[in-house]
Amino acid sequence: MILSIESSCDDSSIAITRLEDKKLLFHKKISQDAEHAAYGGVVPELAARLHAVTLPKILEEAKPYFSEVKAIAVTNEPGLSVTLVEGVSMAKALSVALGLPLLGINHLKGHICSLFIEDETLFPLDVLLVSGGHTQLLHVNSLEEIKLLATTMDDSFGESFDKVGKMLGLPYPAGPLIEAYAKRGDAKRFDFTVPLQGTSTKLLAFSYSGLKNQVRLCIEAQENLDEQTICDICASFQRVAVAHLMQKIRKAYKERSVEHFGVVGGASANLYLRGELEAFCASKQATLHTAKMEFCSDNAAMIGRCALEAYAQKAFVNLADLKVRSSSKDIFY
Ligand code: KG4
Ligand code: ZN
């Protein structure tokens, strides 16, 4: 078995995954949404202190598996450095105490592996990664060969939901709430402009700061921010935020074939986005792959699934060489 730890942002999570058949034997996650809600976003120092309390609590429950654990895996990049350190320190302590090898796992590769929990990997695969920290279009030949097709120039897709939510007085993380409000709203009431439409260049990139600003001006212009207006703003914003993703995705695959397309990351739970991606895949005769809802946002099960691949490659690292890195640009070719 492999014991995996995730603490890259505000979710403390530990998983036990069986080596022989990829079975997820134990998985627990404690989120800190309530503690960060009042601040409208994650406060890194607070998140780190909470991990120091919650990770040992979860570890206590995983103790019955210790005798059969063969390696310790931990997310070491990318993420908030102060929170990554909590998981990495625990992993190093466990490695020494139990005499087990260490595996450092890239969080983005973890999200890709959320599609393969208790299952075989499937490559090549094109992936849209939409989370609070990332908005990336990737061509994944294997976990060692990932091509970055497009990324955001400023805010990420999930982050734009959080920021619009903050402007509307909604608690963090606002993504699921905005989706819920949008269901009751008129998506055509506010005519926000889809970002980067006029770019005649070959630029394949995402941008959410301009849309966020349009929404801010719209909110400020409302004399009465009643419930229906909030629903209409959420619906109009979501329509345009997703339309921007879809326009760039269509552009990326205009002259490129795609057989298997996956969507991962916390914001991949958005059903409106999934619907649009279904339509895109149908038009390309491609198959859309989605993670189970419980594995979209950060979790250790996906880190454990990625760790199975790293274990097979014997990609073990020494104690001193396992370092925390807040960004991970060099995973792309
Ligand atoms: O992957 P994740 O748990 O953390 C990061 O690695 O960043 O993603 C969290 C992000 C938050 O920004 C949250 O608002 C967004 O995913 N999110 C959503 C939805 N559910 C979560 N965004 C839009 N619609 C949703 N249903
Ligand atoms: Zn994530």
Contact 40 CB / ligand 1 (< 6 Å): no
Mean per-residue pLDDT for 10-28? 98
pLDDT value of residue 328: 83
Condensed to tens digits (0 to 9), the pLDDT of residues 97-155 reads 999 999 999 999 999 999 999 999 999 999 999 999 999 999 999 999 999 999 999 99
299 CB less than 6 Å from ligand 1?
no
SS3 267: helix
Which pLDDT score, from 0 to 100, does residue 237 have?
Answer: 98
Terminal alpha carbon distance of the chain: 31
pLDDT tens-digit map of 309-332: 999 999 999 999 999 999 987 888
Q: Does ligand 1 lie within 6 Å of residue 165's CB atom?
A: no
Domain borders along the chain are 2-117+297-321, 125-290
Ligand 1 centroid – CA 41 distance (Å): 12
Cis peptide before 78 (omega within 30 of 0): yes
Percent of the chain with pLDDT over 90: 93
Question: Are 2-117+297-321 and 125-290 the same fold in CATH?
Answer: yes
CB-based contacts of 35: which residues, under 8 Å, 6+ apart? 46, 50
Which fold would CATH assign to domain 125-290? Nucleotidyltransferase; domain 5 (3.30.420)
The two structure tokens encoding residue 21 = 């058949």
Residue 22 and residue 103 in contact, taking contact as beta carbons nearer than 8 Å: no
Question: Which of 75, 263, 270 maximizes ligand 1 atoms within 8 Å of its Cβ, making it the mutation to test the pocket?
Answer: 270
136 within ligand 1 shell (Cβ under 6 A): no
Residue 199 scores a pLDDT above 90: no
- 227 alpha carbon – ligand 2 mean position (Å): 31
Nearest to 25 by CA among 71, 87, 56, 68: 68
Pocket test residue of 131, 160, 164, 166 for ligand 1, highest count of atoms within 8 A of CB? 131
154 DSSP assignment: S
Q: How high is the pLDDT of residue 200?
A: 60
CATH fold of the domain at 2-117+297-321: Nucleotidyltransferase; domain 5 (3.30.420)
Q: Is 79 in the pocket of ligand 1 (CB under 6 A)?
A: no
Confidence label for 201 from pLDDT (cuts 50, 70 and 90): low
